[in-house]
Amino acid sequence: SQQGEEDPQALSIQEGENATMNCSYKTSINNLQWYRQNSGRGLVHLILIRSNEREKHSGRLRVTLDTSKKSSSLLITASRAADTASYFCATGGSKTNSNSGYALNFGKGTSLLVTP
Partner 1 sequence: DGGITQSPKYLFRKEGQNVTLSCEQNLNHDAMYWYRQDPGQGLRLIYYSQIVNDFQKGDIAEGYSVSREKKESFPLTVTSAQKNPTAFYLCASSFTRTEQFFGPGTRLTVL
Q: How far is the CB of 48 from partner 1 (least distance, A)?
A: 5
Binding positions for partner 1, rule: CB under 8 A: 1-2, 4, 30-31, 33, 35, 40-45, 48, 88, 92-93, 99-109
Q: What is the DSSP letter of 72?
A: E
Partners of 61 in the beta sheet? 58, 76
Q: How far is the CB of 116 from partner 1 (least distance, A)?
A: 25
Q: How far is the CB of 2 from partner 1 (least distance, A)?
A: 5
- Which region holds residue 82: left if phi is over 0, alpha if psi is between -120 and 50, else beta? alpha
- Residue 84 or residue 93: which is nearer to partner 1 going by CB? 93
Q: Which residues contact 45 (CB under 8 A, 6 or more apart)?
A: 33, 34, 35
- Residue 100 or residue 116: which is nearer to partner 1 going by CB? 100
- Residue 33 or residue 79: which is nearer to partner 1 going by CB? 33
Q: How far is the CB of 102 from partner 1 (least distance, A)?
A: 5
- Residue 35 or residue 76: which is nearer to partner 1 going by CB? 35
Q: How far apart are CA 111 and CA 108, in angstroms?
A: 9
Q: What does R_g of the chain's alpha carbons equal in angstroms?
A: 14
